[in-house]
Amino acid sequence: MKSISRSTLPLVILVSLGSCGVNAIPTKEEAAKAAWGQVENQYQRRADLIPNLVSTVQGYAKQEKDVLVEVTNARANATKVTIDPSKLSDPAAMRQFQAAQGQLSQSIGRLLVSVEKYPDLKSNQNFLALQSQLEGTENRITIARQDYNVAVQDYNTTIRTFPAMIGAKVIYGAKELQPFKATTANAQVAPTVKF
């Protein structure tokens, strides 16, 4: 058997280290950390987005509700004010009746303008958009968690298989990363959306 010359010894060491996953281990660890960063990013996106969407929907729903309540109240007031045929010559009774009817006409006019501008009530569209955003956000979180778990599995497999486990233990003191696991209490509870 030939002895290894001093000039080829660094090359043998370099090849040995390369086969021990010296470069693969930190690369895979950083990939897993980046994937976890995306999980946190999606949770932050949800925390930032959902309250703003809910506020927008509430604003449109309140404005439309206010118009509808105004029409309903004006109608109720208009039906309360009646003129007895014997008082048709009374200017005060006639003004009161006309004012009640005018209030109803104005409320209906505002409602008609809203309907003309928005044949489908804006709040309906916003509720659908909110629903879509909630679903999309939860899907993004699910995908980010799946990507993290895949990266963790890749890293953990690398540091546990030969020959990379030698470099992982000796050089890096690598420890297995923990995959994302849903806790029973949190997994059963969906995020609350209040209006």
pLDDT in tens, 1-10: 456 666 665 6
Based on the structure, what is the number of domains in the chain? 1
Burial environment of residue 159 by CB neighbours within 10 A (0 to 12, 13 to 18, 19 or more): buried
> Please, are residues 104 and 74 in contact by the beta-carbon 8 Å criterion?
yes
Flag whether 109 is in a domain. Answer: yes
Flag whether 10 is in a domain. Answer: no
Flag whether 191 is in a domain. Answer: no
Peptide bond just before 51 cis, omega within 30 deg: no
Distance CA 17, CA 155 (A): 18
Average pLDDT over residues 170-181: 86
Around Cβ 121, how many Cβ atoms within 10 Å?
17
Mapping DSSP to helix (H, G, I), strand (E, B) and coil, where does residue 92 land? helix
Question: Chain-wide mean pLDDT for the chain?
Answer: 74
Flag whether 192 is in a domain. Answer: no
Share of the chain above pLDDT 90, in %: 9
Mapping DSSP to helix (H, G, I), strand (E, B) and coil, where does residue 129 land? helix
> Please, are residues 159 and 174 in contact by the beta-carbon 8 Å criterion?
yes
Distance CA 78, CA 105 (A): 10
Q: How far is C-alpha 74 from the geometric centre of its chain's CA atoms? A: 40
Please give the residue range of the domain that contains residue 86.
Answer: 21-182
Q: Give the CATH number for residue 71.
A: 1.10.287
Q: Return the pLDDT at 117.
A: 57
pLDDT digits (tens, 9 = 90+) for 119-132: 555 566 766 777 78
Report how far apart the first and last C-alpha atoms of the chain are (Å, whole number). 82
pLDDT digits (tens, 9 = 90+) for 54-63: 777 677 666 6
Give 116's pLDDT tier (boundaries 50, 70, 90).
Answer: low
Flag whether 15 is in a domain. Answer: no
pLDDT digits (tens, 9 = 90+) for 48-90: 777 777 777 677 666 666 766 776 777 776 667 776 766 766 7
Give 139's pLDDT tier (boundaries 50, 70, 90).
Answer: confident
Flag whether 2 is in a domain. Answer: no
